[in-house]
Structure 1
Amino acid sequence: NIAKEQYTSPTPIQQQAVPVALSGRDIIGIAKTGSGKTASFVWPLIVHVLDQPYLQKGEGPIGVIVAPTRELAHQIYLECKKFCKGLGINVAPLYGGQAKLEQLNALREGAEIVVCTPGRLIDLIKTKKCPMTRVTFLVLDEADRMFQLGFEPQINSIVGRVRPDRQTLLFSATFRPKVETLARNILVDPVRIVIGKVGQANEDIVQRVEVIDPAMKWGWLTSRLPAFVGHGSVLVFVSTRQAAQELTKNLNLYGYPSTSLHGDKAQAERHEIMKQFKKGEFKVLVATDVVARGMDVRSIKTVVNFDLAKNIEAHIHRIGRTGRAGEQGTAYTLIVPDDKPKTVADVVRNLQSTGIHVSPQLLEIAMKNKKFASSRTRRQKGGGEPQAARPIGPRTGGRGIGFTQGGGGGGGGKPAKEG
């Protein structure tokens, strides 16, 4: 099945994570967006399931994959289905927007793997529709996003209902303190695998950030769309549902067939839109952050942050919708003078951490953030500005055992000593 999906060589996260997971160890995986991490936990899970006694009717799943959003859960579900084809492994989707009765029937008939969102799984556990006694493989994907969405109590509840001798894999694109605390509480002697720098954008993505007057944004977009569409599909992010609808309407009037995707649309409609977008039935998709995670469309060559994201995590995951699986992509971010200084400062830090030049206009907005301005002043007094600022997030060394690999390259790093 791997060969059928045209996988010719593993990505760096797959090189590191798959052998470790196959050995039975717990994992903390910190990887940039578009790194191929889904396969790095799906493949070992399939091997794990095949090694277990056959599932009896009504026993509940062997492997559980938890994702923060319906969109990401659906994407993982589709990946699981592809790789499980012909192996006698049933995969059940447990998340909103799908027929609940069909999900319950799939569980009753026997599903070795469940892909779910925290809320739906908790509901089914509480009503005793999803026994957890056979679960020996647990995956928490996009852990940082789960905390952002307020799922901490649900995650702790789910983990508490799974047997202690389980194998647990935790993946995140960023490694904030809450995620680190969760990892320490639920993982046993984990191997830490870091691909690239913590909180860093995919190096296959060319980033362009422009400071612009709000009234000039429409002209900027329409003047560049012909070139963007000529290279492939275009994903445009805006901050509100109303903005998505308005921009889509204007683009269609301008002659660019486009569709909007936001939280007001039903799940079935979202799936249909994504299916059409993947097929290339339209080249421009205007979306809110509802699709910032989980979307895997390799034809997306350009991402445009028409409105700045609310925070750096959302920004990183937005631009990570291009540059997938080694493909090259370009991400444009339009920043207006009134944008939130803290977010702008975080964007500047992220750009500097990858060696990208920061314009004086962009730096001027970032300096409105007191913390950023203070740290920059201290560095200058201490001997000048470093060539690359430290990436956002905690250091990758420290407690636990782990592989750390910089710059996203391949090859096996040596295990770090436990400290």
Structure 2
Amino acid sequence: MADAIEESSGQNSTEKNSKKRKRDGKTETIVQDEDKSVKEKKKKKKTSSEDTAVDLSTNERPKEVRNSVLVDSPSSADISAFLKKHAITVTLPPGVSDISPVIAFGHLDVPQDLKKALDGFNEPTPIQACTWPHALQGRDVVGIAETGSGKTLAFGIPALARLVSGQSSQTSGVSILVVAPTRELAIQTHETLSDLGKPFGIASVAIFGGVPKDGQIQMLQRAGVSQNGRGKKSKGEAVTRIVVGTPGRILDLMQEGVCDLSGVDYLVLDEADRMLDKGFENDIRQIIQQTKPLQERQTMMFSATWPEAVRRLASIFQRNPVRATVGSDDLTANSRVEQSVEVLDDGRRKDTRLVSHLNALSHKKKGGDTRVLVFALYKKEASRVESMLRSLGYTVGALHGDMTQNARMDALEKFKNGTTGLLVATDVAARGLDIPDVVAVINYTFPLTIEDYIHRIGRTGRGGKTGKSITFFTGDDHERALAGEFARVLREGGFEYEGLKKFPMTIKKKEHSVYGAFYRDDIPAPKGPTKIKFS
């Protein structure tokens, strides 16, 4: 799903059909419907050779440019309305022309079997619409969007299209690597990519911590991903071309020589902001250094926010990336989630209020089609709440760090398929997990950061559906410090926050988990690694 590059018209064409403004020191291009007839006439006059022309001065990868990327390109008016509706901003590097977003699946030029994965969806999500065209052209992309915005398919479709069409420079072995911050997200992404690749005989391997290495090592060796041995493929068996994993386990197996990443030419960092803020930066750097060189690799970064730490990583490990932002670079709450807060003077009332809300949501004790996700802050607290609900007759599961990986996977699967309609979890379930039909999220205890709050409530209201979040707020020490930020999130969403006004409304200075209060986000990102020469 990509649009034809209109390099021959250069920046003059861009200026005629777009409006530019300055933001954060960069030029952002927002497509307008000006000169609509002129633009459409130019498109009709384009020849196939003009459509695929590439400005070599930008040092792009011409071998990966696709012909006839869009089928029946949308009109300028449709494009303009789509971008305005979803508040999409596309920031282009110098010398790169605008490409029409994919606002309908009919505009997508990928193999039909790959399109079948999109059956059941009405239209592309905003992040898919504006990243697919550039990704299919072989460009590096940064995608910034709220949780529940379809980012997995945003990088998954171009990844499979790259393999199926033979664009990958790697004809055997692993060429696609996806790095995710949590085991659950890695498994979910692995399953999605496995389903996408099945019609083409392309398989994926998931590697993550919390389980013994032996099974994962055997899968890598069987797939021929190991430096220590090449596995044999049985007749009819899918060929493994994809690895999805968490940073720690990838690095561990890489250092043991059982995970060869030297052929990776399509790299994805999913939830990049989370991984950097949680101290994975050094691991990520070591992993990326084992993949193909920058000039031979396409690198995709997806994030809910775009803090300076992520910008710095992108500036070093990406090449003239196109940046697509849906909404804002700052983390914002899912607009489809109705938020409410319940201020409790006595935390002991939480159990009673939780049960009351479950009754109000018409939640069935024995599970069913609807699901409710309850977030606790600590592992012991999650276990206690789970036991309390089970004693009241609820079929309830738990998901937290004190559980084995197999138990966590089992609890998550039962929640997804509706066997268990109620799940009590810590923040290990706050990010990235795509669980269907979660009607409500209840924050039994407020998280440690406002970012975690926004990610928590993003587990509902997914896939274009609406959802509801209910938050218990007692004003404990850590909660009191976040009252001002929490009130701001509610206010921006148009929701009531009167009960919070008895707490200080100050907003805490932005900090970083590594750099603390000395963290600055106004330092320009370096253009690349600095070479130091010793005489």
Query: Shared fold (TM-score greater than 0.5)?
Result: yes
1:28 to 130, 139, 142: 142
**1:133 & 1:199 partners in 2: Cα distance?**
34
Asked if 1:199 is matched to 2:331, the reply is yes
How far did 1:356 drift? 2.9
1:130 to 242, 251, 259: 259
Instruction: Go from structure 1 to structure 2 and tell me whether the alpha carbon gap of 1:238 and 1:86 turns closer, same or farther (over 3 Å shift).
Output: same
**1:370 & 1:266 partners in 2: Cα distance?**
36
Q: Deviations over 1:75-120 (max 9, x none)?
A: 1001101111111212111112453333323432452111111111
Asked whether the equivalents of residues 92 and 106 of structure 1 are also in contact (C-alpha less than 8 Å), the reply is no
**2:222 & 2:126 partners in 1: Cα distance?**
35
Asked if 1:178 is matched to 2:299, the reply is no
Instruction: Go from structure 1 to structure 2 and tell me whether the alpha carbon gap of 1:271 and 1:203 turns closer, same or farther (over 3 Å shift).
Output: same
| Matching residue of 2:321 | 190
Q: Deviations over 1:339-371 (max 9, x none)?
A: 423333222222233333321x31332426676
AA in 2 matched with 1:69: T
Bigger relative CO (Cα 8 Å, ≥ 6 apart): 1
Asked whether the equivalents of residues 341 and 470 of structure 2 are also in contact (C-alpha less than 8 Å), the reply is yes
Instruction: Go from structure 1 to structure 2 and tell me whether the alpha carbon gap of 1:160 and 1:280 turns closer, same or farther (over 3 Å shift).
Output: same
How far did 1:10 drift? 0.7
**1:53 & 1:45 partners in 2: Cα distance?**
9
Q: Deviations over 1:261-305 (max 9, x none)?
A: 111111111111111111211211000111112321112110001
Asked if 1:335 is matched to 2:466, the reply is no
1:67 to 171, 180, 189: 180
AA in 2 matched with 1:362: L
| Matching residue of 1:142 | 271
**1:371 & 1:128 partners in 2: Cα distance?**
43
Any idea what SS the aligned residue of 2:124 has?
coil
**1:6 & 1:394 partners in 2: Cα distance?**
41
1:14 to 115, 128, 142: 128
Question: RMSD value over aligned CA atoms?
Answer: 2.4
Q: Deviations over 1:316-345 (max 9, x none)?
A: 111111111111110111111224233332
**1:43 & 1:342 partners in 2: Cα distance?**
42
Any idea what SS the aligned residue of 1:282 has?
coil
Asked whether the equivalents of residues 2 and 83 of structure 1 are also in contact (C-alpha less than 8 Å), the reply is no
2:219 to 103, 109, 114: 103
How far did 1:124 drift? 2.1
Asked whether the equivalents of residues 73 and 294 of structure 1 are also in contact (C-alpha less than 8 Å), the reply is no
Q: Deviations over 1:127-174 (max 9, x none)?
A: 222222221110000011102321010111112222212111111112
Asked if 1:89 is matched to 2:220, the reply is no
Asked whether the equivalents of residues 29 and 170 of structure 1 are also in contact (C-alpha less than 8 Å), the reply is yes
Alignment of 1:18-417 (within 5 A): 18-50=132-164, 51-52=166-167, 60-98=173-211, 99-108=215-224, 109=231, 111-162=240-291, 163-165=293-295, 166-197=297-328, 198-213=330-345, 214-228=347-361, 229=363, 232-340=370-478, 341-359=480-498, 361-367=499-505
Asked whether the equivalents of residues 168 and 175 of structure 2 are also in contact (C-alpha less than 8 Å), the reply is no
How far did 1:74 drift? 0.4
**1:342 & 1:139 partners in 2: Cα distance?**
35
Q: Deviations over 1:13-72 (max 9, x none)?
A: 11111111101111111110001111000000011122246967xx64101000011011
Unaligned residue ranges in structure 1 (runs of 5+): 373-392, 401-419
Unaligned residue ranges in structure 2 (runs of 5+): 1-113, 225-230, 232-238, 511-519, 527-535
Instruction: Go from structure 1 to structure 2 and tell me whether the alpha carbon gap of 1:394 and 1:334 turns closer, same or farther (over 3 Å shift).
Output: farther
- Greater displacement, 202-211 / 226-235: 226-235
Asked whether the equivalents of residues 69 and 117 of structure 1 are also in contact (C-alpha less than 8 Å), the reply is yes
Instruction: Go from structure 1 to structure 2 and tell me whether the alpha carbon gap of 1:399 and 1:368 turns closer, same or farther (over 3 Å shift).
Output: closer
Instruction: Go from structure 1 to structure 2 and tell me whether the alpha carbon gap of 1:370 and 1:115 turns closer, same or farther (over 3 Å shift).
Output: closer
Asked whether the equivalents of residues 60 and 130 of structure 1 are also in contact (C-alpha less than 8 Å), the reply is no
Asked whether the equivalents of residues 434 and 459 of structure 2 are also in contact (C-alpha less than 8 Å), the reply is yes
- Greater displacement, 5-14 / 285-294: 5-14
| Matching residue of 1:379 | none
**2:521 & 2:370 partners in 1: Cα distance?**
36
**2:403 & 2:414 partners in 1: Cα distance?**
15
Any idea what SS the aligned residue of 2:360 has?
helix
Asked whether the equivalents of residues 71 and 293 of structure 1 are also in contact (C-alpha less than 8 Å), the reply is no
Whose Rg is larger? 2
Alignment size in residue pairs = 375
How far did 1:191 drift? 0.9
| Matching residue of 2:52 | none
Asked whether the equivalents of residues 14 and 40 of structure 1 are also in contact (C-alpha less than 8 Å), the reply is yes
Instruction: Go from structure 1 to structure 2 and tell me whether the alpha carbon gap of 1:194 and 1:128 turns closer, same or farther (over 3 Å shift).
Output: same
